[in-house]
Amino acid sequence: MKFVKMHGCGNDYVLVNCFEVGMDHDWHRLAREISDRHFGVGSDGLILVMPPSSPGVQFRMRMFNSDGSEGEMCGNGMRCFAKYVYERGLTDRMEFAVETPAGIIRPRVILRDGLVELVRVDMGVPSFERAEVPMIGAPGEAVGETLAAGGAQYTVTCVSMGNPHCVVFVDDLGSIEIPRVGPLIERHEVFPEGTNVEFVQVLDRGSVRMGVWERGSGRTLACGTGACASAAASHRMGFTGRRTRVVADGGILEVELDDSGRAFLTGPAEEICSGVFTKWREPE
């Protein structure tokens, strides 16, 4: 199976071009095997570059976590996707439409010396409505609530970016045991579909520090949809303005909320390597 490995702020993905390899494969199993950091290529997940299934869009993207589960969307992965299709000549458009389970996403590539240095992605409008996250409870927004997990109380704001996020505000990010607390919130009973978890320390009116526990992948160095959720939640709580610098373990992401509430994510995407995953064999 031919692949290209890329990353956005350390959030790494293996990309497979379905225009070349076809679409009739066990992608859930491939995601688990190719993502394994000891017996595979190693990544936070698998991204498929696919022909569109709807009119008016140029591509379709599917994303699988390292545990084989399929995610709705991935902001860092979308930037890698955009760099891949532009630099390999699958499109000559600077901005194009990509079909995802979370809806139509529109990335725009930003070039330097003819190569993609940054990608700005229209990530849509964040929703705080409990039913849209989804999160069990009374109708209304899940903003500034108290959530009990592992014998402690946390202040959380829950956001849908097309996938679920629980933003946990903390005074000191360094004091949080993310590998311990993250899974407790990811699988908390109030989240029927599980949730991504962002631990956020507000630095000032224009920046936050973010630690990530991703649903289906665990501890990661960054999360694009998580950065948008963190910025939106921080703004909704009155901690930050419309422009937020999100400092993740793997790098810095810029999030802008426009007057209509839409979130725009800007950040880098880099290619690491390409090759053939020779271990892959289709089942008999």
In percent, how much of the chain has pLDDT > 90?
95
What's the average model confidence in pLDDT over 182-211?
98
| Average pLDDT for the chain | 96
pLDDT value at position 281? Answer: 77
The size of the chain, in residues, is 284
Model confidence at 179: pLDDT above 90: yes
Strand pairing class (145-149; 207-214): unpaired
- Find the distance separating the first CA and the last CA of the chain, reported in whole Å: 16
Q: Which amino acid is at 103?
A: G
Q: Which amino acid is at 1?
A: M
Q: Which helix (H) or strand (E) segment is 227 a member of?
A: helix 224-236
CATH of 130-261, one of 3.40.50.150, 3.30.930.10, 3.10.310.10, 3.30.70.920: 3.10.310.10
pLDDT tens figures, 269-279: 999 999 999 98
Q: Is 166 annotated in the active site?
A: no
**SS3 at position 91:** coil
pLDDT value at position 279? Answer: 87
pLDDT value at position 26? Answer: 94
CATH of 2-122+269-276, one of 3.40.50.2300, 3.40.50.1820, 3.10.310.10, 3.30.470.20: 3.10.310.10
The winner for highest mean pLDDT among 72-76, 153-157, 280-284 is: 153-157
Catalytic residue among 74, 80, 166, 228: 74
How many Å separate Cα 110 from the centre of its chain?
A: 20
**Residue 54's pLDDT band (boundaries 50, 70, 90)?**
confident
93 CB-near residues (< 8 Å, 6+ apart): 58, 86
Q: Which helix (H) or strand (E) segment is 165 a member of?
A: strand 164-169
Model confidence at 190: pLDDT above 60: yes
What's the average model confidence in pLDDT over 113-129?
96
Q: Is 273 annotated in the active site?
A: no
Model confidence at 135: pLDDT above 60: yes
> Is the CB of residue 202 less than 8 Å from the CB of residue 230?
no
Cα distances from 153 to residues 135, 149, 150, 179, 201, in angstroms, run 17, 6, 8, 17, 16
Nearest C-alpha neighbor of 182 from the set 172, 171, 167, 161: 167
Model confidence at 38: pLDDT above 80: yes
State the greatest distance between any 2 C-alpha atoms of the chain, in Å, as a whole number. 57
Catalytic residue among 9, 158, 223, 228: 223
pLDDT value at position 283? Answer: 61
pLDDT value at position 23? Answer: 87
Q: Where are the domains of the chain?
A: 2-122+269-276, 130-261
